[in-house]
Structure 1
Amino acid sequence: MSTSRRNLLKSIAAGATIAPFSLFAAGNATANCQPPMRAWPPGVEGQRKADLGNGTFLNPIVSGDHPDPTILKDGDDYYMTFSSFYSYPGLIIWHSKDLVNWAPVGPALTTSLGVIWAVDLCKHNDRYFIYIPADPKGEGWSIYAIWADNIDGPWSEPVNLHIDGCIDPGHIVGEDGKRYLFVNGIRKIRLTDDGLATDGKLEMAYDPWRYPSDWVVENFAPEGPKLFHHNDWFYLVTAVGGTAGPVTGHMVIAARSKSIHGPWEHCPHNPLVRTQSEQEPWWSKGHATVVQGPEGDWWMVYHGYENGFRTLGRQTLLEPIEWRDDGWFYATGGDLSKPLPKPTQKALSNAGFALSDDFSQNKFGIQWSFHDPRPEEMSRVRYGNQALHLAAHGSSPANSAPLTCPVSDRSYEVEVAMQLSDTPAAEAGILLFYNHKAYVGLGFTQQELKLYQYAEELKWAGRPISNRDVRFKLTNNRNVVTYHFSFDNGKTWHLHGTRMEVSGMHHNVFGGFLSLKVALYCVGEGEVTLRDFQYRAIPETA
């Protein structure tokens, strides 16, 4: 660690104010889950930005639903991707030079594999690989692989490695020069030299460290193995305790061995990372990858739920680690509600991207993905006349494949103009969508404006209309949702009489490890024409 960074850490720990972006309020969140106010500088469209502009950063480094981070250091560049679950196109790859400022490159996966969990991004012999646990038909998990000679793609079609019943792959090259995947369990299997088939049997690799029996966790669940080689040792970083459930459950543990085949020695100060109480700013912290920073020091990237905002999903966190004389690394970030020194003081990377879309580019934007689409879903989309035309799928939002857009802020506002085709059975609208059993929002037909709450249409809240053109405005202010609608493209706005509180729409209620996203849908018959989608973050106030 550099002297300047060490001094900056000491000043933060001592309570020094870091101008110009100081904390609005000191102390921990109260037990009623109201988190402390923290000051993020506004980035693109006002979205919160990790880089405070003064040599420090404030977590998360990638806000919103970006769980199970897998990170690759490739020369001076860093690449990262995340679980994409039911979203297609999926596996968006992000790029950074400094580990703090990240911007998307594009999706690596367009072929539907059903639900996708924690993947592993790696590079071997100048070729990039992503190992993907997936369940395409809902009949059981296997590990798939895609590869590319350039990180920008094109990426190959998925190859089934037939590692059945396994998730959470972690790639490593052993001391024998052979390639291995470690998976949940913690088990391992040898790969062929090209990395696209197995070359051996699945076998136990490591019996993970056990936490005390009285700790409040979800379940043991050893998963997410990530491996690296440092100073003649192989290090195995594992998640245990369950990824959701009690906020104190998820954690990061480590082990080391001189051989990829073991025996593995438990880290004597496990767990390295764990949420201790619900008063902390970040809950269920775990699933870590260790990476060397641009100045030669070391960092840990993992995910966590934001206190009071589980609706945003698991967000990506960055914490410094320190190597000590005993050959083990220690997490040194402390209270992640406070700023930390950046890995480098050089201005190297851009951050974020615009979610707004005027649909003029005749290009499917990175912000858009279908939820649980059919293979032919992209055929529903066509561009023309400064608009996106979305054909109907399903009879209601409950069996549709909505077009979703992720969000990253505690408070935000979205607008979109919609025009129904001249088909009486056409319906379209805007939602906050978790899954087919959990969504809220407004819809309309040529005859009626509809209100949906928790995946049910509230008939009493409907109102008759006679219009094919509606502009919707949806505001989510710290989990309180307000709706407006306009029949003259925003010149005159009408407030809907019902508001929603949506803080309970998350995994611990509805399952699936997902997040609450903005969604646009079209069901019935015909199509909807979408114009002028706008996203605006609402600034935090004291």
Structure 2
Amino acid sequence: MEDNSYLLSQKGSWGDQGDGTYVNPVLPGDYSDPDVIRVGDDYYGISSTLHCSPGMAVLHSKDLVNWSMIGHVVDDLTSIGPEYNYDRMNRYGRGVWAGAIRFHEDKFWVYFFTPDEGLFMSTASDPAGPWEPLHQVWEVTGWDDCCPFWDDDGQGYLVATNFANNYNIHLFKLSEDGKELLNDSGTIIHQYKGSEANKIYKINGTYFFFHSEVRCKEGVEVRVVMMLRSEHIYGPYEEREIIHTHGMDVDREPNQGGLVQTVSGDWYFISHQGTGGYYEGRTLHLLPVTWIDGWPIIGIDTDGDGIGEMVWGGRKPISGHPATVLSTYDDFDRAVLEPHWEWNHQPRADKWSLTARPGYLRLHACQPIDKDNFFTVCNIITQRAFRTVHNAAMVKIEIGGMADGQEAGLCHFAQTYCTIGVHQLNGRRVLKFNSSGIIVWGPQLTGSTLWLRSVWNIDGINRFEYSVDGVHFTSFGDAYQLGWGNYRGDRIGLYSYNCESEQGYIDVDQFCYEVARSGE
């Protein structure tokens, strides 16, 4: 399996292959900065969400290959700070960065930093929620990539990087309730260029500090995965590289992630593809872990040097669980949004509703902060765009409630943006395509129902289509290259705004996005 799985992944294959094997990535979308734990027979993970709300995605799996979104830790990003709100939208690429999830005293605990506001934590008895109101542990700037740990005597610790000060990795003691750092306990345990992605474990009585750092390999700087090991939590520590990384074109630098042990005793590493730059963002990978001379080796040691190499697939860790059908269909019949939805910054609560018209998502028009800047349009509701051989996302909207000056429709955005929608002017509704300011006008629309569709291939070349009957679709606008920006892969979303007033709305009847399981 390892011989051809890299080729399969490049052709768009991913995840569970249905024959007892899997291909990396196990999730072909932007699930950055993952961490993972096992509780009983279940595996739970988290993924950073940056400026998207709700924040810090929570995932669940039974076999480490098939994952589903089950919730978020942070319901309201303004509990972090006002810059995340719809009237500011000033945290692109910032916000909820990498964190860690742990199970302690019959509760789930999540800690994370934002680079501008500091250290936050929350707990829950059910990882799907509700989570306790977010607690700010430490108001500080310039820190990231934290992980809590409770030792056998019950003492809690937290490891974190001060990236604003030479990337020093610090170890702190936690208060008994886990809500305070005992700051006078802070000790620098490691420093190297770019040292972050911290995790701490105690395995068979030995302390392990996982992290990554930037080193020069064959004249090129790459992020390298390292492990520190000691019999005492404050050291002294031995250090070892535990997987070779060769750069974006070879292995895409797996680095940020977490170790987890199955019920049967096998070890695995959940990681994101760390270099970014691709339109799908930083995808989720699963790598086997073996132990050699008391060190974990990620991937496969192909040359006997005690350091692993990237693995692009293999046997599923746990058999008997079916392949997940990766679908984000939503008919908006529930009282709450499905977990795969996230807003661009914190939305304006009075401008969207699931109850105004039961069975529909109503998106009222908002005035942007800057009418000439799409990235200041509030209440854009979004999902991750996946990278497979074929992707199609379709939305059915009712446009009878639109008002003059309003525009609404389907969009893609990262560093740039592209939209297909309806613009109402002087009582006339006209189809409109907008690729980062390059506008193409289409026909006048006389009906009250419209279907919009986005179709893209493995290279991220997107085409928009529209239909007035839901059966016959017509291509409209130019091809658009999906992209990467603000540490995020492409987001596909729905928008509704009005530069002239606060009038108008659309009703979203259904949204369907399904992706291909395999390539050629």
2:212 pairs with one of 233, 239, 246: 239
Is the Cα contact below 8 Å between 1:71 and 1:289 reproduced in 2?
A: yes
Correspondence 1:350-429 to 2 at 5 A: 351=324, 353-374=326-347, 376-377=348-349, 380-383=352-355, 384-395=357-368, 397-401=374-378, 402-410=380-388, 411-420=390-399, 421-429=401-409
Over 3 Å counting, the alpha-carbon distance change for 1:337 and 1:331 in structure 2 is: closer
Tell me how far apart the structure 1 counterparts of residues 25 and 73 of structure 2 sit (CA, whole Å).
Answer: 23
Match of 2:313 among 319, 322, 339: 339
Q: Which residue of 2 aligns with 1:152?
A: 128
Q: Name the residue aligned to 1:18.
A: none
Instruction: Work out which of the residue numbers 477, 493, 518 in structure 2 matches 1:519.
Output: 493
Residue 450 (structure 1) shift = 2.0
Return the offset for 1:360. Answer: 2.6
Q: For this pair of structures, how many residues does the alignment match?
A: 470
**Distance change (3 Å), C-alpha of 1:471 and 1:306:** farther
The Cα RMSD (Å) is 2.7
The structural deviation recorded for 1:369 is 1.4
What is aligned with 2:441? Answer: 462
Distance 1:531 1:36, change over 3 A: same
CA distance in 2, matches of 1:296, 1:354: 32
Question: Match of 1:81?
Answer: 46
Which residue number corresponds to residue 289 of structure 1? 258
For 2:180 and 2:351, the matched residues in 1 are separated by 33
Query: Which SS does the other structure have where 2:26 is aligned?
Result: coil
Q: For residues 318 and 178 of structure 1, what CA distance do their matches in structure 2 show?
A: 31
1:273 corresponds to: 243
SS of 2:419's partner is strand
Letter in 1 for 2:363: L
In the alignment, the residues of structure 1 paired with residue 149 and residue 504 of structure 2 have an alpha-carbon distance, to the nearest angstrom, of 50
Question: Which residue matches 1:262?
Answer: 235
Work out whether 1:321 is the aligned partner of 2:289. yes
1:461-540 matched pairs, under 5 angstroms: 461-463=440-442, 465-467=444-446, 468-478=448-458, 479-486=460-467, 488-502=468-482, 505-506=483-484, 510=485, 512-524=486-498, 525-538=503-516, 540=518
Bigger mean CA deviation after superposition, 188-197 or 408-417: 408-417
Overall identity of the aligned pairs, in %: 22
Paired letter, 1:149: S
1:76/1:323 Cα in 2 relative to 1: closer, same or farther (>3 Å)?
same
Spell out, residue by residue over 1:444-486, the C-alpha distance to the aligned partner (whole angstroms, 9 max, x if none): 2134322221x32x24x22352445432111112211111112
Secondary structure of the equivalent of 1:311?
Answer: coil
* Counterpart residue identity of residue 465, structure 1: Q
Kept after mapping to 2: 8 A contact 1:483/1:495:
yes
Kindly provide the amino acid, as one letter, of the partner of residue 70 in structure 2: V
Shift of 1:254: 0.6
Q: Residue 313 of structure 1 aligns to a residue in which SS?
A: coil
Structure 1 residue 378, shift from structure 2 partner: 6.7
- CA deviation string 1:470-505 (max 9, x = no partner): 32111112211111112x232433221421233xx2
Offset at residue 352 of structure 1 (A):
5.3
Unpaired runs of at least 5, structure 1: 1-11, 16-21, 27-34, 41-49, 211-219
SS in 2 for 1:168: strand
Choose the corresponding residue for 2:422, options 444, 447, 451: 444
Bigger drift between 351-360 and 523-532 goes to 351-360
CA contact (8 A) 1:178 1:190 kept: yes
Q: Whole-Å Cα distance in 2 between the matches of residues 53 and 466 of structure 1? A: 45
More strand per residue: 1 or 2? 2
Counterparts in 2 of 1:498 and 1:194: CA distance versus 1, 3 Å: same
TM-score by length of 2: 0.83
Equivalence map 1:99-178=2 (5 Å): 99-112=64-77, 113=80, 114=84, 115-134=95-114, 140-162=116-138, 164-165=140-141, 166-174=143-151, 177-178=154-155
Q: Distance in 2 between matches of 1:352 and 1:259?
A: 45
Q: Is the 8 A contact 1:250 1:274 kept in 2?
A: no
| Contact in 1 for aligned 2:170/2:190 (Cα 8 Å) | no
Provide the C-alpha distance between the structure 1 equivalents of 2:338 and 2:285, rounded to a whole number of angstroms: 25
Contact 2:244/2:309 (CA < 8 Å) preserved in 1?
no
**Inter-partner Cα distance in structure 2 for 1:233 and 1:367:** 38
Contact kept in structure 2, 1:129 and 1:146, CA below 8 Å: yes
1:395-422, Cα deviation, whole Å (9 max, x unpaired): 4533113110123332301111223314
Q: Give, in whole Å, the separation in 1 of the partners of 2:385 and 2:23.
A: 18
For 2:136 and 2:60, locate their aligned partners in 1 and report how far apart those are by CA, in whole Å.
27
Q: Give deviations 1:263-309, integer Å, cap 9, x for gaps.
A: 22212xx1x234314442x41321131111232021111110599x7
